Structure 1
Amino acid sequence: MTNPLDELVTKALQRRAPTREEAAGVLTEEFDVLDVVAAAARVRRHFFGNRVKLNTIINMKSGLCPEDCTYCAQRLGSDSEILKYSWVAAEEAAEAAEAAAEAGAKRICLVASGRGPGQRDVNRVGSTIEAILRKQPDVEICACLGLLSAGQAEQLRAAGAYAYSHNLNTNEERYSEICSTHTFADRTSTVREATSAGLSPCSGAIFGTGESDSDVISLALELRELSPDSVPVNFLIPMEGTPLEGQWHLTPQRCLRILALYRFFFPDVELRLAGGREIHLRHVQALALHVANSMFLGDYLTSEGQTGDQDRRLITDAGFVIEGKEEATLPEQRQDLVHIRRRGVGTDVAPNV
Structure 2
Amino acid sequence: MTSLAPRALTALSRPTLLAPTILNARGHAAAVDPPSGSSRRYLDGDVRHDWRRSEIQRIFDAPLMETIYRAATVHRMHQDASRIQLCTLMNIKTGGCTEDCKYCSQSSSYKTPTKASRLVDIEPVLEAARQAKANGSTRFCMGAAWRDLAGRKSGFEKILKMVKEVRAMNMEVCTTLGMLSPEQAQRLKEAGLSAYNHNLDTSREFYPEVITTRSYDERLSTIEAVRAAGISVCSGGILGLGEKDEDRVGLIHEVSRLSEHPESFPVNTLVPIEGTPLEKNDPVSVQTVLRTIATARIVLPKTIIRLAAGRHTFSETEQAMAFMAGANAIFTGETMLTTPCSGWDEDKAMLSRWGLRGQRSFEDKEDVSVSSVGADAAAGVTAAA
- Matched residue type, 2:327: A
Compared with structure 1, are the counterparts of its residues 331 and 25 closer, same or farther at alpha carbon in structure 2 (3 Å cutoff)?
Answer: farther
Gaps of 5+ in 2: 1-21, 33-41, 369-385
Among residues 53, 57, 77, which one is paired with 1:46 in the alignment?
Answer: 77
Conserved 8 A contact 2:307-2:329: yes
Among residues 301, 321, 326, which one is paired with 2:357 in the alignment?
Answer: 321
* Partner SS state of residue 130, structure 1: helix
Conserved 8 A contact 2:96-2:116: yes
Query: Would you say how many aligned residue pairs link Structure 1 and Structure 2?
Result: 327
* Partner SS state of residue 84, structure 2: strand
Among residues 288, 298, 310, which one is paired with 2:346 in the alignment?
Answer: 310
Alpha-carbon shift at residue 34 of structure 1 (Å): 2.7
Alpha-carbon shift at residue 5 of structure 1 (Å): 5.6
1:216 corresponds to which residue?
Answer: 248
1:27 corresponds to which residue?
Answer: 60
Compared with structure 1, are the counterparts of its residues 11 and 206 closer, same or farther at alpha carbon in structure 2 (3 Å cutoff)?
Answer: farther
1:180 corresponds to which residue?
Answer: 212
Among residues 71, 95, 99, which one is paired with 2:131 in the alignment?
Answer: 99
Conserved 8 A contact 1:255-1:280: no
Conserved 8 A contact 2:172-2:362: no
2:18 corresponds to which residue?
Answer: none
In 1, Cα distance between equivalents of 2:339 and 2:319: 18
2:100 corresponds to which residue?
Answer: 68
2:38 corresponds to which residue?
Answer: none
CA deviation vs aligned residue, 1:2-22 (integer Å, no higher than 9, x gap):
3156437x7431224764344
Among residues 172, 176, 190, which one is paired with 1:140 in the alignment?
Answer: 172
* Partner SS state of residue 147, structure 1: coil
- Greater relative contact order (Cα 8 A, min sep 6): structure 1 or 2? 1
* Partner SS state of residue 254, structure 1: helix
Compared with structure 1, are the counterparts of its residues 268 and 308 closer, same or farther at alpha carbon in structure 2 (3 Å cutoff)?
Answer: same
1:125 aligns with 2:149: no
Compared with structure 1, are the counterparts of its residues 166 and 329 closer, same or farther at alpha carbon in structure 2 (3 Å cutoff)?
Answer: farther
* Partner SS state of residue 173, structure 1: coil
1:294 corresponds to which residue?
Answer: 329
In 2, Cα distance between equivalents of 1:37 and 1:188: 29
Compared with structure 1, are the counterparts of its residues 277 and 11 closer, same or farther at alpha carbon in structure 2 (3 Å cutoff)?
Answer: farther
Alpha-carbon shift at residue 167 of structure 1 (Å): 0.5
Conserved 8 A contact 2:164-2:193: no
Identity of aligned residues (%): 33
In 2, Cα distance between equivalents of 1:14 and 1:306: 34
Conserved 8 A contact 2:44-2:298: yes
Conserved 8 A contact 2:320-2:354: yes
Conserved 8 A contact 1:235-1:280: no
4+ residue runs over 6 A deviation? 329-332
Conserved 8 A contact 2:234-2:262: yes
* Partner SS state of residue 7, structure 1: coil
1:284 corresponds to which residue?
Answer: 318
Alpha-carbon shift at residue 162 of structure 1 (Å): 1.4
1:166 corresponds to which residue?
Answer: 198
Alpha-carbon shift at residue 142 of structure 1 (Å): 0.9
* Partner SS state of residue 316, structure 1: helix
- Matched residue type, 2:31: E
Conserved 8 A contact 1:277-1:285: yes
Residue range with higher mean Cα deviation, 281-290 or 146-155: 281-290
Conserved 8 A contact 1:11-1:18: no
In 2, Cα distance between equivalents of 1:95 and 1:123: 19
1:343 corresponds to which residue?
Answer: none
Alpha-carbon shift at residue 260 of structure 1 (Å): 0.7
In 2, Cα distance between equivalents of 1:146 and 1:208: 22
Gaps of 5+ in 1: 333-353
CA deviation vs aligned residue, 1:208-243 (integer Å, no higher than 9, x gap):
111112211111111122321111111111111100
Residue range with higher mean Cα deviation, 172-181 or 272-281: 272-281
Compared with structure 1, are the counterparts of its residues 47 and 73 closer, same or farther at alpha carbon in structure 2 (3 Å cutoff)?
Answer: same
Conserved 8 A contact 1:109-1:142: yes
1:59 corresponds to which residue?
Answer: 91
Alpha-carbon shift at residue 179 of structure 1 (Å): 0.7
Compared with structure 1, are the counterparts of its residues 192 and 205 closer, same or farther at alpha carbon in structure 2 (3 Å cutoff)?
Answer: same
Alpha-carbon shift at residue 82 of structure 1 (Å): 2.5
Task: Give me the TM-score of the superposition, normalised by structure 2.
Answer: 0.80
CA deviation vs aligned residue, 1:331-351 (integer Å, no higher than 9, x gap):
99xxxxxxxxxxxxxxxxxxx
* Partner SS state of residue 15, structure 1: coil
